[in-house]
Amino acid sequence: MVHSVRVKGGRASYANSYIKTARLQQEKEAQKPMFLKMGDLHGTRGLLLVLLDKAKAVVGSILTGEGTGTANTSLVYHARRLLALHEGDLPYMLRVLCNGVVETVGRLTLKDGNAAYPGPFTAHPKLDPKTGEMFFFGYSFDAKPYFRAGMVAASGEVSRQWVIDVPYPVMAHDCGMTEKYAVLLHLPLCFDPKQLAMGDNLPVVFKPNKRARIGLLCRDMPGCGCDVENPNAKPAPVQWFELPAFFAFHTANAWEDEDGRVHLVLCTYPKFDFDFEKKHKCEVPDDLKPRLVHYVMDPASGTHASHQVSGVHCDFPMVNPAHACYTTRYAWGATWGLSGIAKAAYPLCLLPGAEDDGFLLVYVYDPTLDTSTMNVYDAKTMDPEPLARVRLPRRVPHGFHTLFMTEKQLQAQTPPRLH
C-alpha cells in the first residue's frame, strides 16, 4: 500500500491505495495468501514451504511470469515516471492524480535495444541530478550471474546492461554512484539453505569470516550487448576493494574528490543477525546496531581507509537529492528504534551555499492515540518542534522509504506507458 499527502493551496489531503501487483491480483482472486514471504523461511517448515512454492509454480497454481514482488520498499521519480520498487521484481509504474490519489499503471518493461532486462531491480537505484541517468542493479541467489546491473538514460530507456562477476551470492540492498563510477556492495550476508535444516533459522546469514567488498564500475563502460542472463555475456571489469566483514543496508551518498578518490558513506553494521531479538530476547548490543561510516577508496593505488562519522546509531539515511552523487557535507537518518531524526556532518567536506536549506517531511505514529501525523521539520536547525503538523485520518503503518515530489514533477508525469 502507498500512502500520500497532497499539499496545495494551503490545504493537505490524504489518500492510500494498494499497488496492484501481479502477486496481489492472484491473492485477491484466491482470497488467501498464495506466495512465500521472508518471514516464512524459518527452519524445516520453511524448507517445506519453499518446495511447496516451487511445486505450485510448476503445476500453475501460482503464476510467476509477471513477477512476484510486492512493490512495497521504496519510490523513485525518474524520466517523468513514479516507480514503486521491491528488490525481488521489476518496478511498478504509478501515477499521482490531481487530488493526490495514487493509481497503479502496471509493471515496467526495461529494454536495451532488443535485450530486455529480466530483473530483479534494486529498491535503491541512484539518480545523477546533473545528467538525469539512473543506475540500478539486481541480485539472485539461485543462478549465475548473481549480480547484474544497468543504466537508464534521462529519457527512460535502458542505455546499457552489465554482468557483474562475483564469487558467491549475497543479499545486496543498496549501491552508490559518483560522477565517474557506479559503486557496488558485495557484503557477506549470504544465502545458506542449510540453515533451514538446523533449527528455527533464516537461510540468510552474516558470515564474519568472509571479506566485505566494495566495487567500482566505470559508468561509461560499454554494456554486454545482450541479455544479462545469456551465458556468453562477458562480465564487466570491476575494481574491488576488500575490507573486514561488515554489512550495510543503506548508502547515504558517494562522490569523488579532486584527487580521484571515491568516498562512500554507509550505515554500517559491524555484525548482523536478522533473528537476534527473536533468538536472544535481550537488548541489542552495539555491534549489531548501525553507525555512519565514511569509506575512501583510491582507484589509482588500490588502497582504502575508513572512519566513523558519528556515534549515533542510525539508518535510512538521505542527502539533499540535488547533491546526490556529488560532494555532500550533511546526511539525515532515522535513529535506532525509529524514535527520532539525526543530522550528521562530514568534517572534511566544506561546501559553499546552503546544502541543508530545506525541510524534512516525516510520518509520525503515536501509539498512545493510535494516530499518525505528517510532520515538517527544519533541516538546517533540526529544531525538535515541527514547523507544521498534519493530522491524518488513518494510521499510517510503519513502512520503509518515502519520496517527495515537487509540483513540477506532478504536472510532468508521463501518460501511462509501460514500455
Q: Which residues of 180-196 are buried (b: 16+ CB within 10 A; e: fewer)?
A: ebbbbbbbbbbbeeebb
Q: Which 3 state secondary structure label does DSSP give 74?
A: strand
CB atoms within 10 A of CB 301: 8
Question: Do residues 121 and 150 make contact, with C-beta atoms less than 8 angstroms apart?
Answer: no
Element (H, E) at 94: strand 92-96
C-alpha cell at 339: 524514535
Can you tell me which residue has the cell 532515522? 334
Q: What does the radius of gyration of the chain's CA atoms come to, in whole angstroms?
A: 21
Output DSSP code: residue 289: S
Q: What distance in Å separates the CA atoms of residue 315 and residue 308, rounded to the nearest whole number? A: 14
Cα diameter, the chain: 62
Residues making up the binding site for Fe cation: 124, 173, 250, 401
Please name the residues in contact with 200: beta carbons below 8 A apart, sequence gap of 6 or more.
42, 43
Q: What distance in Å separates the CA atoms of residue 182 and residue 163, rounded to the nearest whole number? A: 13
Please name the residues in contact with 30: beta carbons below 8 A apart, sequence gap of 6 or more.
none
- The per-residue DSSP string of 103-140 comes to EEEEE---EETTEE------S--EE-TTT--EEEEEE-
Cα angle for residues 349, 237, 179 (degrees, 5° grid): 30
Question: Do residues 110 and 120 make contact, with C-beta atoms less than 8 angstroms apart?
Answer: no
Phi/psi of residue 297, nearest 5 degrees: -115, 135
CB atoms within 10 A of CB 5: 17
Bridge-based pairing of strands 212-218 and 204-206 is: unpaired
Residues making up the binding site: 124, 173, 250, 401
Strands (E), 275-415: 291-298, 303-318, 330-335, 341-345, 359-366, 371-378, 388-391
